[in-house]
Each structure stands twice: as structure tokens, then as C-alpha cells.
Amino acid sequence: MKPELGVCYYPEHWPEEIWAEDARRMAETGLSWARIGEFAWSRLEPEPGKLSFDWLDRAIDTLGAAGLKVVLGTPTATPPRWMLEKHPDMLAVDARGLPRKFGSRRHYCFSHAGYRAECVRIARLLGERYGRNRHVQAWQIDNEYACHDTVISYSRAAAEGFRDWLAQRYQSVQALNRAWGNVFWSMDYADFAEIDPPNQTVTEPNPAHVMAWRRYSSDAVVAFNAAQARALRPLTDAPLIHNYMGWEVNFDHFDVGADLDIASWDSYPIGFLSDRLRDDEAHKRRYLRQGDPDMQALHHDLYRAVGRGRWWVMEQQPGPVNWAPFNPAPLPGMPRLWAWEAFAHGAEAVCYFRWRQAPFAQEQMHAGLLRPDSAAAPALAEAAQVAREIAELPEIRPAVAPVAILFDYPSAWAWQTQPQGATFDYFELVLALYRSLRKLGLSVDILPGNAELSSPKLLLVPGLFALTDELKVRLAAREGITLVGPRSGTRTAEFALPVPLPPALPGLDTTIALTESLPPSADMPLAQGGAMTRWLEHIEGSAETVEETIAGQPVLARSGGLHYLAGWPDPPALARILARACTEAGIETVEMPEGLRRRDTETHRFYINYAAEPVRFDGLEIPAAGVAWKEIT
Ligand code: GAL
């Protein structure tokens, strides 16, 4: 498959007279896709039931006539103002009980049946009109579920939906009381009708209650998305896509992805570095204009899993954004590098956000491929260069990586629900392992828990809160090296401590006898160097000790290929532990130069240089903020 480039375009923002010239320039740049429509509801239906699709007909025709394929969005992330007159209670409600009002976007509650029906209606109308349009070759449903913290809503609709969900899950309120341990603090319920969402409690609510609420809230996103997918399916053969976000774990993306054909995500490397990553200042300074060297790749691999192999970058940062605390410009080369990195990980398409910088409203300081005066912004030439390079390169076929990490969204909710240590963050743990593997020169796959687990030579299972017996058996039966922990299997699915004590892995005599979390100043040094940080489990049992603290306390135990890691190692300790596991698994590792990463496809090895200096490696000279590739022989 040859990857493609595209751009996000908002015809409704510009006079119709310039659409044709815009489309011509997009095609001239070498772009194949234009994503449109995802926020246009007020212009598609200015009054309830009064439809105005003519302009969209002409926009699609204009783009199509220039040779562009269209991704058409359903506009359900931005309900028009009149929708509130029809459904006054459709707004999401925050934890304090206040409505999240009109005037920006995503002002809806996933649980509101009336709003969901409106979304199905507009999706169906769009499907009827454009489902067989030859230019509309993909659909995007809604826009960035969860953006602006919108998954969880404490509305009346959500409370009612939750009670119904609980009744279905537990069947009787006595069963719920038992499962949650409601005897504690006299929290027993006599009826499902008595159960509220877990906000505004005096102190911490029951974690089992919170976990149920998180699951319900995730399921509401899944149902909302599925309703639109069901409306569109009979009307189109084009793939259905959603654009997910970076570092976003508030709903189960694997569940949403099951109803779609392609996963995509919105990649803002420099914004994320400033906004999401908690790395030290030196790291942030070094990568200020490039973004973190592992953040994008991790998401590429995660969303490849969510899309069951098919994935895109739907929005790619082109220049400074508007929404992070600080918004520096990318180093020259980065808009090209980010696209190539995505392709190296198997992206079918990368679409830059956006075509022209909007001179009005919230995102007026957000760069595009064009300036507001239509002159080229710096990323335009880089996009054109990528398009030329794609034409020269043979197809890219992703290869199966030798190492994989199991990823589980409910585990992220579990450790937010009861962190126990303020610095224990599930996503950060996964990123730490991923980063360490990549610094050893490795390509990594991300897998969901229900994946086939036999192919990776090395499999990591960090922080997976509830290991089912079935998964434990599959892990123990694997050939190759399996590294479970820290914190894996330390709760039941209902958020209780399991007995026998965890991790209770078949064939590995290791038990967590006591757990402690460590503040930043209290790392526990290891005998072979480095330290455990943040988290330390005291393990006992007859399994062989591979690593211990300087006081002789075991922290990594094994039996055959199955290992349990009883803490969160700092980078030097993690590098040693993973390098050793790789050697045992028969995987070759190498210490990568700072900022340089590799990713293998079936035919090529790609080198991605996030450093601001050129680097020589593997016989190649890779420029600063540059990429290189060579055939695998
Ligand atoms: C994304 C969003 C876009 C735009 C962009 C700005 O989160 O999907 O609509 O707001 O960010 O960076």
C-alpha cells in the first residue's frame, strides 16, 4: 500500500469563490484527501428540519473535480444552538453538578437519548445524500470523543442510564452490594434506584462504585458511536473512522474501534510535549520544537491495534498550535518527519490540520499549511516534499514487531480510581516501557488483552489491574519471555484484592506480600544499579530472583520465561532489565543515540531523528529533524 497525504478543510469558513483555487493547490501539493464537514451542523441545518446541503454538494464537487477524495464528518461534536431549545437537558454536567454550556464545542452528554437520536438523524441524512457519492470515500463519525474532558457527565440522563446498566450487570442489588463490599461504611443499597453517580461524596467513594461508573461512561461512548455507525452502514461502502486523541484513556478505544473500519488519531507532538508530558525540564527543552521522540510512535502502534491494522493520522500538527501553555514552532523538517514516522508505523494516510489558518474565533493562532492571507506557511513545502517522496518509494507493509506491550483501558481507570501513589499513572508506565524498548532500537507492537499472544518473542504486561484466569493461563503457556507487572493482577474485576494474593501466575511461585508507593525522594536503589521509583511490591516465594534491592529484597522473579516485575524501575534499571529479557528472547538490541529511533517495516528500516543535531548511525547520516531509510537485506 502507498500511503497518502491529506488536509482538514472547512469550506464553510471561506467564500465559495476561493474553493476551486484551494482545491487546485491541494492537488498541486500532492494531497489526496480533504476532510470536511465535522463542525458544520449550523450551516447544514440552520433551523430544526430546514436542511441546507447545496453548499456541501458544491464543496464536495469542487474538491472531487480537483481529484481529491473526501472524508466527510458527521457534525455531532458541535450541536447548533437551537438543539438546546429542543433538548434543554442534553448538556453534560460536571462533577459539581453544573451544566457545561453552549459557546464552544462538545456540549452534549453521551447518555442523552434525545440528542443521540438527533445525531442518528443527521448521520442518516448525510448518508442518504452522500453515501454513494463517488468523491466521498471515507467517513469520520463525530470528532475526538473525550476532548475537553467530556466522557464523564453527571447529568440526569447519565444517572438513569447508569442505574439501568447496573441492574443489567448485577441483576440484584444484593449482588451489587456483595460485589462492591458495601457493608463497609454502611453503604448498602436497597434498590438500584437509590444509586447515584459517584460525585459530590464527602470523601472518596467506593472504588468499585467508581469503576462501575467509568465502565458505564465508556459504554455510553461506545453506544453513541455505534448508533451513528449503524445509521451509516446501509448507506455507504466507504470506511467509517473516528479521530482519537493523544494520551486519552477515558473510554475503551478498542470497544469503540470494534464498530469502525479504521482508527485515526490527532497528532500534535509539540503541543503534547508542553501540555501532556511530565518529563523533566531538560527533556522538554531539548525536544521543544520536535515533540517527544516516543509519544507519537506509541500512539501510532496503539491505534494500529485499535484499528485492527488499519489506521491514519487524521490531524497532523503543521506549525504552532493555540492550545498548549506555550506554543513554539517546529524545527524545519518536523512536519515531514512526523508524516514519515507515521508511515513507517503503517499509517495509510496523514492529514495536516488545517489547510488555511482561520483569522477568526478560538483557533486563530493555530497554524495551517497556508497563512490567513493564503501565502504558503512553512509546512506546505514539507507536505509537498513528502508527497514526492511517497511517489518514489515502494509500498510500505508493516511488519510484526519482536516485542509487544499489552494495553488495557480499564487499567487506566483503575489506577486513577485508587492511585495509592500520587505518581502512579498507567499511561506513563506504558510510555516508560515503550520508550526504554525503543532506546534499545526496537520496533514495538501494542496489543489488546484479547489478542493472540504467541507471536511476540517478548511480551510485557504492565499494570494490568485484573488478570482473568483465562489470561493468566495464556500468559503462562506462552513460549518466549513474558514480563508481568508491576501491579498486574492486583485487583479483581470488581476492584477487590484477590485471594490467593497476586499475581498468582500459574507456574510462578511469587506472591506480593506488601505494597508501598514511594515519593520522588525515596527511590530504592537496586543491587545491579538504578533504582525502583514510585512503586515497590515486596514479593516472597521460591521463584528465582533476577534483581534485588541493595538490601537484598527481590524485585524481579522468574520461573522459566515467565517473570514478575515488582516495581517501577528508573530508566537505567529498566534498560538493563529489558535488554536482558531481549537477549533471553533472542532479540538483538543496540543502544540508540539520543533522539534517534528506528522502526522496521517488512522491507525497510526507517530512522527517525528527533534530535536537533545530525547523527551518524548504521552507516547512515541522518540530518537534524530528519528521516532516512534503507532496505532490509
Ligand atoms: C483537535 C481538534 C481540531 C482542532 C485541533 C487544534 O483537538 O480535533 O478540531 O481543534 O485540535 O489543534
Query: By the 8 A CB rule, do 535 and 542 touch?
Result: no
Task: Give residue 106 CA to ligand 1 midpoint distance, Å.
Answer: 12
| Together in a domain, 98 and 238 | yes
**Nearest CA residue ID for atom 2, ligand 1:** 144
Instruction: Provide the percentage of residues in the chain whose pLDDT is more than 70.
Output: 100
Q: Could you tell which of 144, 276, 299 is best to mutate to test the pocket of ligand 1, judged by most ligand atoms within 8 Å of the CB? A: 144
Phi, psi of 215 (to 5 degrees): -65, -45
| Together in a domain, 380 and 430 | no
Note the pLDDT of residue 333: 98
Note the pLDDT of residue 278: 82
Average pLDDT over residues 525-552: 98
Question: For this structure, is 516 an active site residue?
Answer: no
Residue 105: asked if its preceding bond is cis (omega within 30°), the reply is no
Question: Is residue 239 in a domain?
Answer: yes
The angle at the Cα of 604, spanning 599 to 610, to the nearest 5 degrees, equals: 40
Residue 321 alpha carbon, nearest atom of ligand 1: 12
Question: Is residue 16 in a domain?
Answer: yes
> Would you tell me how many other CB atoms lie within 10 Å of the CB of residue 506?
12
- How far is it, in rounded angstroms, from Cα 183 to Cα 192? 16
| Together in a domain, 562 and 417 | yes
Question: Is residue 619 in a domain?
Answer: no
The domain tally of the chain equals 2
Residue environment code for 235-262, b if the CB has 16+ CB neighbours within 10 A, otherwise e: bbebbbbbbbbbebbbbbbbbbbebbeb
449-492: per-residue pLDDT in tens? 899 999 999 999 999 999 999 999 999 999 999 999 999 999 99
pLDDT of residue 308 exceeding 80, the answer is: yes
* CB 301 near ligand 1, within 6 Å: no
Question: Is residue 473 in a domain?
Answer: yes
Q: How confident is the model at residue 66 (pLDDT cuts 50, 70, 90)?
A: very high
| Together in a domain, 454 and 524 | yes
pLDDT of residue 279 exceeding 80, the answer is: no
* CB 321 near ligand 1, within 6 Å: yes
Note the pLDDT of residue 393: 86
* CB 211 near ligand 1, within 6 Å: no
| Together in a domain, 82 and 107 | yes
| Together in a domain, 252 and 384 | yes
Task: Give residue 292 CA to ligand 1 midpoint distance, Å.
Answer: 19
Domain stops at, among 360, 392, 424: 392
| Residue of 38, 45, 248, 315 with catalytic role | 315
**Nearest CA residue ID for atom 11, ligand 1:** 266
* CB 248 near ligand 1, within 6 Å: no
* CB 624 near ligand 1, within 6 Å: no
Domain stops at, among 585, 609, 625: 585
Q: How does the average pLDDT of the chain come out, rounded?
A: 97
> If DSSP states are collapsed to H, E and C, what string results for 132-160?
CCCCEEEEECCCCCCCCCCCCCCCHHHHH
8-37: per-residue pLDDT in tens? 999 999 999 999 999 999 999 999 999 999
Task: Give residue 267 CA to ligand 1 midpoint distance, Å.
Answer: 9
Note the pLDDT of residue 200: 97
CATH number where 12 lies: 3.20.20.80
Question: For this structure, is 144 an active site residue?
Answer: yes
Question: Is residue 212 in a domain?
Answer: no
| Together in a domain, 291 and 420 | no
* CB 315 near ligand 1, within 6 Å: yes
Question: Is residue 184 in a domain?
Answer: no
Domain that holds residue 263: 4-151+223-392
Note the pLDDT of residue 395: 86
| Together in a domain, 127 and 99 | yes
Q: How confident is the model at residue 189 (pLDDT cuts 50, 70, 90)?
A: very high
CATH number where 542 lies: 3.40.50.880
Residue 143 alpha carbon, nearest atom of ligand 1: 8
Domain stops at, among 359, 392, 425: 392
Instruction: Provide the percentage of residues in the chain whose pLDDT is more than 90.
Output: 97
| Together in a domain, 576 and 533 | yes
Question: Is residue 577 in a domain?
Answer: yes
SS3 538: strand
| Together in a domain, 380 and 492 | no
Q: How confident is the model at residue 549 (pLDDT cuts 50, 70, 90)?
A: very high
| Together in a domain, 352 and 425 | no
358-383: per-residue pLDDT in tens? 999 999 999 999 999 999 999 999 99
Question: Is residue 397 in a domain?
Answer: no
Taking the model in full, what pTM does it have?
A: 0.98
| Together in a domain, 313 and 418 | no
Q: How confident is the model at residue 223 (pLDDT cuts 50, 70, 90)?
A: very high
